[in-house]
Chain A
Amino acid sequence: DAGITQSPRHKVTETGTPVTLRCHQTENHRYMYWYRQDPGHGLRLIHYSYGVKDTDKGEVSDGYSVSRSKTEDFLLTLESATSSQTSVYFCAIRSGGGAQETQYFGPGTRLLVL
């Protein structure tokens, strides 16, 4: 357990509404990541952060934005949700460095866009 929580754990929303998912960590890790998990695709990176206010895009960033104003919180926002964004969203942190570097995952948020 790397002290990662995600909220909400489940959400149902309608197309066109904004949605914000929160990832919270308690161990002061510098790197944080947002992935989405879809059948047949494994996990794909949406955005990541390498420090407060330092973020970058991943493989599937279109339609998503992120913010990190504090070390412990990394927010993922869907400005206008679409049905294609129905997915399970996982936050992760990077722990350790060099050969000890490992990513640990939160419990996930299941999002349904109707």
Chain B
Amino acid sequence: GDSVTQMEGPVTLSEEAFLTINCTYTATGYPSLFWYVQYPGEGLQLLLKATKADDKGSNKGFEATYRKETTSFHLEKGSVQVSDSAVYFCALSENSGYALNFGKGTSLLVTP
């Protein structure tokens, strides 16, 4: 079945450092891919998405490119801020209306 694998956390970075959170997936078809962010004590917010190969999703300085050849959707940001401290979830959706299949989440802590 479909699955999503994320790098284990927690990830600790200094402010202004470069961020990469790895995400790889297994799917039988051509899924849509998502990154969600969860700030402490809150629900999940959509960060960005991509719906086909080579698409790049971007939002708030974060980017991720849908790589079909490597079945990956790695999240990157050039310069993190303390306010980016949160848990990040990679997810996929195989078919319209289907539920999202989530990775286990990666906790990010950015220190001043």
Contact = CB atoms under 8 A, between A and B. Distances in A.
Contacts of A31: 97
A50 B97 contact: yes
Contact of B42 (A35, A40, A45, A107): A107
Size category of the A interface is 20 to 34
B89 A42 contact: yes
B104 A41 contact: yes
Interface string A78-114: 0000000000001010100111011111111000000
Contacts of A58: 99
Task: Provide the main secondary structure of the chain A interface.
Answer: strand
A97 B96 contact: yes
Highest count of chain B CB atoms <10 Å: which of A33, A43, A98, A108: A43
Contact of B96 (A35, A101, A106): A101
Nearest to A34: B99
A48 interface: yes
Interface of A: 31, 33, 35, 40-45, 48, 50, 58, 90, 92, 94, 97-99, 101-108
28 contacts: A33-B99, A35-B99, A40-B104, A42-B89, A42-B102, A42-B103, A42-B105, A43-B44, A43-B91, A45-B100, A48-B99, A50-B97, A90-B43, A90-B44, A94-B97, A99-B32, A99-B51, A99-B52, A101-B93, A101-B96, A102-B34, A102-B49, A103-B100, A104-B46, A105-B44, A106-B43, A108-B42, A108-B43
Interface of B: 4, 32, 34, 36, 42-46, 49, 51-52, 89, 91, 93, 96-97, 99-100, 102-105
Given A42-B102, A45-B100, 11 more contacts: A31-B97, A42-B89, A42-B103, A43-B102, A45-B99, A50-B97, A90-B43, A94-B97, A99-B51, A101-B93, A101-B96
